[in-house]
Amino acid sequence: MDYVIEFLEQNKRNLERGIRDTDLMRKDIRKATQQLGQINQLKRAIKILKVKTKGL
């Protein structure tokens, strides 16, 4: 389960870095908001998985 959490966190970091490095908020706001939505979904999934693994 730790592997999945680490994979999701890495994916989240890559999306955040991509938005920052390419200055996507200024170039393509629609794509940036879509990626920010994906980041929020990843954050929720990571949080849920961490809570579930603590309970085990």
- The predicted-structure confidence for 4-47, as pLDDT tens digits, reads as follows 999 999 999 999 999 999 999 999 999 999 999 999 999 999 99
C-alpha distance from residue 22 to each of 13, 14, 36 (Å):
14, 12, 14
pTM to 2 decimal places: 0.87
Spans of all domains in the chain:
2-55
Residue 56 has pLDDT above 80, yes or no: no
d(CA 14, CA 53): 24
